[in-house]
Amino acid sequence: MPSIKHIHKYFRRKMGKGYIVYACALPDCTHYIREDLVVGKRTICWVCGRVTLVYRDSNGILARPHCKSCTKKKTEDEPIDLPPLEIPNILPG
């Protein structure tokens, strides 16, 4: 049965001994693609459902690709507002 023509919703799948592919999670779709060929393909975001491109970041390709706007970013620690430190003048002069 040929794969259906639509925008796929990829997820990572391990086949055999360490062979990784990305398969479509939509019902009645039998499409899958090798890991090295999936970068740059259109996919449906697993978080918001919008169409986005599969990208490789510093950790590799995501198991369930989502768009960059849905990525949880680490927030920087806000500076603590401390009262001024009072240092006594102990030097002669």
Say whether pLDDT at 12 is over 70: yes
pLDDT at 1: 59
pLDDT 10s digits, 42-78: 999 999 999 999 998 888 888 999 888 887 765 655 6
pLDDT 10s digits, 18-44: 899 999 999 888 899 999 999 999 999
How far are the Cα atoms of 23, 52, 81 from residue 31, in angstroms, in the given order? 6, 18, 55
Residue 13 pLDDT class (50, 70, 90 cuts): very high
What is the layout of strands, in order, in the sheet containing 19-24? 10-15, 19-24, 32-34
Domain boundaries, the chain: 10-66
SS3 content of the chain, % helix, strand, coil (to 5): 5, 25, 65
> What type of residue is 33?
I
Indicate the pTM of the whole model.
0.70
pLDDT at 71: 77
Residue 47 φ/ψ region, left for φ over 0, alpha for ψ in the -120 to 50 degree band, beta for the rest: alpha
